[in-house]
Amino acid sequence: MTKIIVANPHGFCFGITRAINVAVKTSKNKDKPIFFLGEIVHNQHVVDWLESSLKIKTVQSINEIPDGSIVIIRAHGATPQVFQQAKDRGLEIVDASCPLVLRSHRTVKDLASQKKQIIFLCNKIDHDETVGVVGEAPDFATPVTLDNIFDFPINNPKDTTVMTQTTLSTIETQKALLFIKNKYPQITILPHICQATTDRQQAIVKLAKKYHFIIIVGSPTSANSNSLKSVAQSSGAKAYIVDNASELQPEWFLNQKDIVISSGASTPESILDKVIEKIKLITRQ
């Protein structure tokens, strides 16, 4: 009989819960039109639910927001230029940025004020968090992906600090940071992978080593969900990521006795439950 093991912790982190609560509270207390600037969290199910239940529309730029409205800044933060644009337009700004992302903003600002170069290690240079953090000091901060860091030339390591996106794979990041420290012993390293990301990945690493087959429920745009898949694979497991139950492929489950499931920090529990139900159907428990 197939056993399904749900990793713990999994699902919503503190920053995502907070951003959702900020949106709900804003919708209750204000009578102006409200807009999300970009996906408030990287999960379409959550975005659809908030848009329909709170009557908040998502737009991609400040220019799309009518005068006299409220703009909610997503959990991944935004550049100072975006805040300025909103202020210039006279929009009311509600900041739902995760405080741990804002900590990276402050660190970049602080290092740039000391004329230090910053390398922001990320999974994608156009990820919202990366754009927001690097936007604090574009003349000093350079986004470099985990794939590209091994060939990236660092000209002044003594005055360079390497920071990390909050949701990277802890395993791949450790490899990259070790490589950088060996190559440039004088460099400063300030890892900023958040606790929620670390805890979820540690749970998956443990289970991946024991059970070797993992399903991650999360959006393809969710960095932390993709990192869960990455640590599962780095720990020797076969791993798949699905946005919802319809993406499960029955052939994945042939001869699988133990199936581990986890979900990204922006995946609602209801979607995870539906995936579990479908897996039970596929494996006929």
Dihedral sign, Cα of residue 191, residue 134, residue 106, residue 268: negative
Looking at beta carbons only, is 132 or 157 nearer to ligand SF4? Answer: 132
**Residue 267 sits in the site that holds ligand SF4 (CB under 6 A):** no
Of 247, 208, 210, nearest to 230 by C-alpha is: 208
Total interface residues for ligand SF4 by CB under 6 A: 15
Task: By CB under 6 A, name the one of 20, 78, 196, 203 that touches ligand SF4.
Answer: 196
**Residue 13 sits in the site that holds ligand SF4 (CB under 6 A):** yes
**Residue 170 sits in the site that holds ligand SF4 (CB under 6 A):** no
- Binding-residue pattern over the window 43 to 82 for ligand SF4, x denoting contact by CB under 6 A: --------------------------------x-------
Separation in Å, CA 95 to CA 47, 52, 190: 16, 21, 25
User: Catalytic residue positions?
Assistant: 129
Task: By CB under 6 A, name the one of 26, 161, 224, 226 that touches ligand SF4.
Answer: 224
**Residue 97 sits in the site that holds ligand SF4 (CB under 6 A):** no
Looking at beta carbons only, is 235 or 267 nearer to ligand SF4? Answer: 267
Name, in order, each residue with C-beta under 8 angstroms of 122's C-beta and a sequence gap of 6 or more: 129, 130, 143, 144, 145, 146, 164, 165, 168
**Minimal CB distance to ligand SF4: which residue?**
15
Binding site for ligand SF4 (CB under 6 A): 13-16, 75, 98, 100-101, 166-167, 194, 196-197, 224, 265
